[in-house]
Amino acid sequence: MRSMLRVLSALALVVALTVITGPSASAASARGAEAQSRASAGKGAGDVQLTYTKWFAPAYPTMQGVVGGDIEGTFGGAVLTRTVLPTVVLLEARYEIIASNPSHSFTAMIAGSLDRATGLAVLDGTVTAGWLTGKAVHVEFQTISCTQAPNGTCFTGTIRVIKASNPGNDENDD
């Protein structure tokens, strides 16, 4: 919960600065550098790395999709809040991973932003229920065209659960 509050506080600061100073090339560059830094950090030892494709169905804000990588299964979720700003869309969502092996299913609460110019989103949060409860989650996705969604828009990306993020709570690791 503290992690989610930190993310939301950081987002509020970004919003306040954007409103005060307006969008700028340096702000866009800083966001890009931050996303690149997170992506290059890669998968740590023992992290759970998933690939996924999701779309809105039956309609916004409900999402469904498929998951692969370290866990095979289906994706479900919902957008909880969405704030459209000039250069970014601030998002808060619930992701539900329904694994083929039920003991590896989990729910995560995440928050972050979607860059309106590039379609790239970066969100962070915490596993709130199921396997790996309490662990940090890092999500990135890109908007793509697809045939699964009624409106032809899907989102594809990665979900990384960082197993070392809560060293005092390892009983849910396996």
Instruction: Give the tokens for residue 55.
Output: 């779309």
Residue recorded with tokens 């697809």: 146
- Summarised one tens digit per residue, pLDDT across range 85-106 is 999 999 999 999 999 999 999 9
Is the pLDDT reported for residue 34 higher than 80? no
Longest dimension (CA), the chain: 49
pLDDT of residue 46: 85
- Summarised one tens digit per residue, pLDDT across range 65-81 is 999 999 999 999 999 99
Q: Report the mean per-residue pLDDT for the chain.
A: 79
Of 107, 104, 106, whose CA–CA distance to 94 is shortest? Answer: 107
Phi, psi dihedrals of residue 167, rounded to the nearest 5°: -60, -20
Is the pLDDT reported for residue 14 higher than 60? no
- Summarised one tens digit per residue, pLDDT across range 130-161 is 999 999 999 999 999 999 998 999 999 999 99
Reported pTM? 0.73
